[in-house]
A and B are shown apart, each in its own frame.
Chain A
Amino acid sequence: DTGVSQDPRHKITKRGQNVTFRCDPISEHNRLYWYRQTLGQGPEFLTYFQNEAQLEKSRLLSDRFSAERPKGSFSTLEIQRTEQGDSAMYLCASSFPSGRLNTEAFFGQGTRLTVV
């Protein structure tokens, strides 16, 4: 396992269509995060899983967004009825939990979404 894998790398979609992205974390990691990065900005936290449980969601995650991690391994992020403002890079990251000691998050290469 060489790292966090995201698919697809690029997605162009028409406004109003639904899209789904996949993230495969590093196999030993049970924490998985989704971030969104718009042009010229730093990544912003969207949501976080520990195993299959979605433990936190940002206010950025509107009701058109849904994330799942059904078996505690890979995760999907779906955007329904896409809008031009959804155009961004969607980054996935994974990490170990370590009790009270924070550990680094390893990032995938991202999925760049363009809504036309």
Chain B
Amino acid sequence: GNSVTQMEGPVTLSEEAFLTINCTYTATGYPSLFWYVQYPGEGLQLLLKATKADDKGSNKGFEATYRKETTSFHLEKGSVQVSDSAVYFCALSALSGGYNKLIFGAGTRLAVHP
């Protein structure tokens, strides 16, 4: 079946540190991959996405590359800020019963300290 596995948090970093949040997936076919971000007390916001192998999604300094050979979609940022503190969800899109279903990982909490 389809599933998403993320590294467990929390991830605690100092401001300007390099960030990596690992995400691997299991899927039939070639799903699209997403990263969503959830700030405290809010809903989820789409951060970036990639629709095919070797695509790189990027937004707000975050990047993730769709790696088919390692079934991974790791999120990276070169220099984090305190305002990046949030929960990050990796997800894949799978066609199910005629509609596109998003399957989420458990989420990784990021805390950035000044």
A joins B in a complex: no
Give residues in B with beta carbon < 8 Å to A: none
